[in-house]
């Protein structure tokens, strides 16, 4: 697939995670509450399951992409340099750039794309430029759904932890954190349905003008960064509580769908036990509509998936033709 033009990529799969606490609802007293979701299966039956939000996986991917951008000299705004989630919506970079100029939406999007890899790829909502109130959105290229426990194949246990300070004074004030503290933390396990999509053709694309304000080499480098950071996100998911509850990832299997045209790469959730067969049927039908547009690669483990994604690093982003 070397130099193959790629329009979009999707991953649908089943990830087995053990003893993790990647995403929580906060705490009640000394109890950390695991994140719970209500879903409907293929038969219309309702279940309550564990879940990891798409926001968490975007956070994980963003952190890896920032590191990649720094090492490979890709553009980053000052906020993204330090991992500030405000990105270009905060700070003075856009205000300085547009000082004395008319602020037009399409020009703002061009500036956002040019100035920062993260704002381009993960999106941003510009709410102000200097003293000018704005509402200009750069939609994310990368989409992560909730990673959700497959019904009857996930559960949560809670474990008691203590903190003991041997030389504590024993004097406990209102804000004291001395002595023996007792707290409870969840440890989750299960088979989780994972879905994500990457609109590769939109890397560097101004959605207003439908023109690419950055050159092709920059788009290729950002594409490589997205794919490398996706591999890193599976190998090292830096979510909540990983300092003491690093997830035991024992398996990840599913399907990578690749679209070479503007037909979307198909995605079906592994909540449906027949998701692989459904994706194969969809791909066959899409290839009848647009010949040779969809490629499917099945993977049985992180080793297989990492090879598929590593091979994609040799591909290039599809470009929408210019309007003459």
**Tens-digit pLDDT profile for residues 166-214:** 665 555 555 555 556 665 566 778 899 999 999 999 999 999 999 999 9
Decide if 159 contacts 184 (C-beta within 8 A).
yes
pLDDT at 183 (0 to 100)? 58
Q: What is the pLDDT of residue 67?
A: 96
pLDDT at 315: 97
Ranges of residues in the chain with a pLDDT under 50 are none
Q: Bridge partners of 254?
A: 13, 299
Q: Are 179 and 173 in contact (CB under 8 A)?
A: no
User: How much is the pTM?
Assistant: 0.88
């Amino acid at each position: 697939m070397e130099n193959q033009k790629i329009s979009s990529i999707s991953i649908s799969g089943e990830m087995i995670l053990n003893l993790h606490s990647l995403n929580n609802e906060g705490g009640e007293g000394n109890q950390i509450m695991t994140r719970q979701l209500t879903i409907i299966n293929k038969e219309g039956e309702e279940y309550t399951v564990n879940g990891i939000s798409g926001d968490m996986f975007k956070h994980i991917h963003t952190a890896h992409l920032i590191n990649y951008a720094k090492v490979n000299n890709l553009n980053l705004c000052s906020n993204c340099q330090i991992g500030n989630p405000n990105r270009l919506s905060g700070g003075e970079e856009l205000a300085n750039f547009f000082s004395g100029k008319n602020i037009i939406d399409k020009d703002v999007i061009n500036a956002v794309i040019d100035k920062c890899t993260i704002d381009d790829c993960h999106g941003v909502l510009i709410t102000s430029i200097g003293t000018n109130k704005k509402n200009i959105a750069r939609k994310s290229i990368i989409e992560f759904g909730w990673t959700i426990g497959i019904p009857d194949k996930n559960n949560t246990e809670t474990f008691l932890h203590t903190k003991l300070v041997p030389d504590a004074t024993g004097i406990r004030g209102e804000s004291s954190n001395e002595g023996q503290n007792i707290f409870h933390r969840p440890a989750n396990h299960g088979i989780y349905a994972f879905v994500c999509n990457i609109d590769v053709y939109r890397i560097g694309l101004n959605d207003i003008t439908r023109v690419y304000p950055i050159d092709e080499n920059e788009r290729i480098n950002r594409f490589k960064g997205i794919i490398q950071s996706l591999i890193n996100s599976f190998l090292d998911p830096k979510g909540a509580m990983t300092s003491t509850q690093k997830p035991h990832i024992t398996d990840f299997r599913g399907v990578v769908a690749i679209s070479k045209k503007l037909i979307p790469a198909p995605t079906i959730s592994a909540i449906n036990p027949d998701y692989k067969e459904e994706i194969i049927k969809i791909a066959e039908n899409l290839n009848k509509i647009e010949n040779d547009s969809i490629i499917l690669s099945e993977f049985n483990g992180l080793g297989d998936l990492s090879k598929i994604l590593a091979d994609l690093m040799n591909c290039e982003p599809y470009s929408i033709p210019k309007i003459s």
